[in-house]
Structure 1
Amino acid sequence: MAEEAKHLIDDKGTYSRVDPSGLRHRLRAIPDQCLAAWQSSQKLSLPGAWSSGSKVVVGGMGGSAMAGDLAADLAASKLSSASTLAPRVPILVVRDLAFPFSLDQGTIFIASSYSGNTEETIALFDQAVKAKARTIAIGSGGKLSQRARNAGVPLLHIDVSSEPRTAVAYNLMLILGVLSGLRLLDLDEDEATSAISSVSHNASVWSEDVPAVDNPAKRIALELMDNLIIVYGSGLFSGMARRWKSQFNENAKMWSFYEVLPELLHNSVEAFASPIGQPAMALILDPLTKDDVTSGAVVRKPGVDSTIHERHNRVILETLANHDIPRMVLNGDGSSPLARILNMLLLGDYVSYYLALLRGVDPSPNPSINAAKELLLGSG
């Protein structure tokens, strides 16, 4: 069965048959999109007074909100690296029709909607403008872009023709570029372009024309196949756990769940002794350790910093091992937090893509999501 699956994922005929719209080509273009987004964000001129913002809020749903999660994790990261990313203000993400806190003129609000027609994002945009918050809109058109023009709000255009979830990296680089331009995030041109260069290299390694024997993304998908996947993340990869889970849902059409350390050590571990009822795999996205990707055992390397995040990951790995729960550890690749974010983001895209092919399902369309949106419109 394993050899048959490996042949399937290396067969060019599989791609034309299962992926007729060519999602594989859109994944391969993501590094170029990151560079285009960064360059676009650098052209946006904002009032100098905005650099004194009291907080940054990103409002959106789905992939648009996901970009905000990743930006917040990146800014909050205290990893020791070449990067000096350090937040000057908190970065918050809102996924709802209303803000759970008050806005003021010191709030920088980024309304993000790929389509420009997301109900929740438009509602937040209207509230932010009314509160006189320092508002920026990100979208590809629709009602949000029109509202931004009418209100005289700065607008960044998402110049990507793809599924909204495939534009997350583009959206992320727009947000980071805005915050960098306002000096609310220490991220310069060299670090951004170096990170993009890193993910561009890995995209060539993970692409469909590289056989499974030399392709880590394909090998990971082969190991995860036929499992219920529970994704764990911490620190820099807290939001990334949600991202991987959602990509398993949307691309591979698989059930998957995610949790974040250290919270799960205070509740979820109590269930480890109970049978799950189907094959399962715990997938740990660990930004700190130097573990090799492994299944069923943890291979530690010397020289790992003893940090609080490393201790959390060590505890969850030992707990999983004590209950004989299969597990796999994945590390980001890159010399900076941004490089690790972008590489892990694209790796998740490719792994979920290959899982879709192994399952024989077209990864591009999301009929259930579209049906749910139609129901929402009909119940309004």
Structure 2
Amino acid sequence: MDSETSDRYMQGLLDDQSLYPSIDVSGLRDRLFRLPGQCIEAWSKTKLLQVNIDSREIKNVVIIGMGGSAIAGDLLIDMASAQKTVPISVVRDFSLPMKIDSSTLVVACSYSGQTEETLALYDEAASYGAKFLVIGSGGALVSKAESKNEMILTVDLASEPRSAVAYSLVLLLGALSRLGIISVDGDDVRDSVAFLTATVNGLKEDVSYETNLAKQLATNCLSKSPVIYGGGIFTGMARRWKTQINENSKSWAFYETIPELLHNSIEAYASDHNDEKFIILLRPSIGDDRLLSRYDILGKMLSEYEIPFQTIEGDSHSMLSQILNMLALGDYVSYYLALVRGVDPAPNPVINRAKSFNE
């Protein structure tokens, strides 16, 4: 099947509205569509947070979590880096790799509240006298925090943990803004969500393939191994796209960060297997000019080596707007890729099987 015939086939498939309920039986498409509303709800919730610590004592922030619960921390760090805040790091492990004390704010993120690694990190951090903010929907983690009268923000969503990333990100932004660690303007949040609403309206399943970028990108990823490139405010976003393709599409995907990949990964451009890859460059519209020049270099080199690629430009709005909109696009790309592969995007049977070995 040539590319033109393939595109017509994919267009007909993804524009057939009967496809969605037949494969997406839990209605993940509806949860994706509610993304803007989730952001508004999360922002409102942070206004009610009972701050019970002196933020002037905070010298560093450590976000602990796994999977989708940790991704929000990556996205937060990309925004915080532009503001030169106190050091913020994300830990995904069973134990802390650094010393912490009472001047450390530990943000424990677990949608279920039952994640083994996060609970272990929480207990260790507590033994060092760290201060806490807990984000979750319940479980042992929230119970521990309640018993110690720690700050808690609940995730009130009935969804997969990975579908709550935007909600968790806005909770993080609002909470750290209340603590004076990062600056977030309420008008920017409202404007960003308004723009996000327009983006989601242009990506949902009843929007034609001809104008739906997510459907087109999903088609380009089919029968390829997507490799996501991201730098600046899209450093964490590259990981997010990769993990969404893994979990939603049940497909291999990889990510690389700019400028680091120019010091190692590009040597693979000379290999004989370039036609098996599809490179997606997530390019922010704002950032260090030196970083943005690396995107230009990569575009030239990928063309020279005849490696299939596509550059996705961030919108011309704020950092928050770019992050939320690129998040939504990646979620929809992984969703449509699942549909064209004929797999239900919501369940994660292999992940659940791995967890069962620890029971």
TM band (smaller chain): over 0.9
Shift of 1:333: 2.1
Q: TM-score, normalised by structure 2?
A: 0.96
Q: What does 1:295-310 align with in structure 2 at a 5 Å threshold? A: 307-310=289-292
Aligned to 2:300: 318
> Following the alignment from structure 2 to structure 1, what is the Cα–Cα distance between the partners of residues 343 and 57?
49
Secondary structure of residue in 1 paired with 2:245: helix
CA contact (8 A) 1:288 1:309 kept: no
> Following the alignment from structure 1 to structure 2, what is the Cα–Cα distance between the partners of residues 153 and 278?
52
Aligned to 1:367: 349
Q: 1:356 aligns with which of 328, 332, 338?
A: 338
Secondary structure of residue in 1 paired with 2:55: helix
Aligned to 1:222: 219
Q: 2:23 aligns with which of 12, 15, 18?
A: 18
CA contact (8 A) 2:245 2:334 kept: yes
> Following the alignment from structure 1 to structure 2, what is the Cα–Cα distance between the partners of residues 274 and 188?
47
Q: What does 1:79-94 align with in structure 2 at a 5 Å threshold? A: 86-94=83-91
Q: TM-score, normalised by structure 1?
A: 0.90
Shift of 1:278: 5.3
Shift of 1:332: 1.9
Q: 2:39 aligns with which of 34, 39, 45?
A: 34
> Following the alignment from structure 2 to structure 1, what is the Cα–Cα distance between the partners of residues 341 and 171?
34
Shift of 1:151: 1.9
Aligned to 1:330: 312
> Following the alignment from structure 2 to structure 1, what is the Cα–Cα distance between the partners of residues 69 and 79?
16
CA contact (8 A) 1:237 1:287 kept: yes
Q: What does 1:94-113 align with in structure 2 at a 5 Å threshold? A: 94-113=91-110
1:282-310: CA deviation from partner (whole Å, max 9, x where unpaired): 11011137xxxxxxxxxxxxxxx980111
> Following the alignment from structure 1 to structure 2, what is the Cα–Cα distance between the partners of residues 276 and 231?
17
Shift of 1:107: 0.6
Aligned to 1:83: none
> Following the alignment from structure 1 to structure 2, what is the Cα–Cα distance between the partners of residues 87 and 45?
26
> Following the alignment from structure 1 to structure 2, what is the Cα–Cα distance between the partners of residues 152 and 309?
44
> Following the alignment from structure 2 to structure 1, what is the Cα–Cα distance between the partners of residues 258 and 74?
15
* Structure 1 unaligned residues grouped into runs of 5+: 78-85, 290-304
- Letter of the 1:42 counterpart: K
Alignment root-mean-square deviation, CA: 1.4
> Following the alignment from structure 2 to structure 1, what is the Cα–Cα distance between the partners of residues 149 and 212?
48
CA contact (8 A) 1:198 1:334 kept: no
CA contact (8 A) 2:285 2:316 kept: no
Aligned to 2:323: 341
Secondary structure of residue in 2 paired with 1:251: helix
> Following the alignment from structure 2 to structure 1, what is the Cα–Cα distance between the partners of residues 13 and 97?
48
Q: Does 1:249 align with 2:254?
A: no
> Following the alignment from structure 1 to structure 2, what is the Cα–Cα distance between the partners of residues 70 and 143?
26
Q: 1:154 aligns with which of 151, 155, 178?
A: 151
Secondary structure of residue in 2 paired with 1:156: strand
- Letter of the 1:4 counterpart: Y
